[in-house]
Structure 1
Amino acid sequence: MLGRRTHGATQQCDLPLVGRVPRAAVVVALVALAVVLAGANWALSREAGHLLHMAELEASIEAYRTRSATLEAKLDSELAVLAALDLRVTALAKAAPSVAASRPAPPGRGASAGGGTTIPLVVMACDRTEYLKRTLDKVVDIVPPSDTNDAVIFPLFVSQDCRDSPRASAVEDLVASYGRFTLLTNDNPDRPRSKPGENIKYYFIAQHFQFALTQLFDVYGYTQVVLIEEDLEVAPDFFEYMAAALPVLRADPSLYCVSAYNDNGKPNVVADPRAVERTDMFPGLGWMLTRELWAELGRANWAKGYWDDWLREPAQRKKRSCIRPQVSRTKTFGEKGTSVGQFYSNHLAHIKLNDKPVDWRAEDLSYLLKDEYDGALDAKLAAATPLSLPDFKALDAKAGADGRLPGTAYKLTYPAAELLFPAPRITAW
Structure 2
Amino acid sequence: MNIDRSIMAVSSWNDNGQKQFVHDPYALYRSDFFPGLGWMLSKSTWDELSPKWPKAYPFENHNGRQFIRPEICRTYNFGEHGSSLGQFFSQYLEPIKLNDMHSNFVNYFANLVRQATPLKGKDAALKANYVNGDVRIQYRDQPDFERIARQFGIFEEWKDGIPRTAYKGVIVFRYRTPKRVFLVGPDSLRQLGIENS
**Alignment TM-score, normalising by the size of structure 2:** 0.51
Query: 2:42 matched to 1:297?
Result: no
Matches within 5 A, 1:110-259: 249-259=1-11
Contact 1:273 1:358 in 2 (8 A): no
Partner in structure 2 of residue 345 of structure 1: 90
Query: 2:67 matched to 1:322?
Result: yes
**After TM superposition, where is structure 1 displaced by more than 4 Å over at least 4 residues in a row?**
none
Query: 2:36 matched to 1:284?
Result: yes
More helix by proportion, 1 or 2?
1
Larger radius of gyration: 1
Structure 1 letter corresponding to 2:33: M
The one-character-per-residue Cα deviations of 1:75-120 (angstroms, maximum 9, x if unpaired) are xxxxxxxxxxxxxxxxxxxxxxxxxxxxxxxxxxxxxxxxxxxxxx
Partner in structure 1 of residue 103 of structure 2: 358
Matches within 5 A, 1:378-417: none
Residue 253 and residue 296 in structure 1: after superposition, are their counterparts in 2 closer, same or farther (change >3 A)? same
Structure 2 letter corresponding to 1:262: N
Choose the corresponding residue for 1:263, options 15, 18, 28.
15
Residue identity (%):
45
- The total of aligned residue pairs comes to 107
The one-character-per-residue Cα deviations of 1:147-198 (angstroms, maximum 9, x if unpaired) are xxxxxxxxxxxxxxxxxxxxxxxxxxxxxxxxxxxxxxxxxxxxxxxxxxxx
Structure 1 letter corresponding to 2:73: S
Structure 2 letter corresponding to 1:276: L
What RMSD, in angstroms, separates the aligned Cα atoms of the two structures?
1.8
Q: Distance in 2 between matches of 1:281 and 1:360?
A: 30
The one-character-per-residue Cα deviations of 1:381-427 (angstroms, maximum 9, x if unpaired) are xxxxxxxxxxxxxxxxxxxxxxxxxxxxxxxxxxxxxxxxxxxxxxx
Shift of 1:338: 2.4
Secondary structure, aligned partner of 2:9: strand
Larger RCO (alpha carbons 8 Å, 6+ apart): 2
Q: Distance in 2 between matches of 1:318 and 1:350?
A: 33
Structure 1 letter corresponding to 2:43: R
Query: What 5-or-longer segments of structure 1 have no aligned partner?
Result: 1-248, 363-429
Structure 2 letter corresponding to 1:272: D
Query: What 5-or-longer segments of structure 2 have no aligned partner?
Result: 109-197
The one-character-per-residue Cα deviations of 1:203-224 (angstroms, maximum 9, x if unpaired) are xxxxxxxxxxxxxxxxxxxxxx
Q: Distance in 1 between matches of 2:102 and 2:68?
A: 18
Partner in structure 2 of residue 170 of structure 1: none
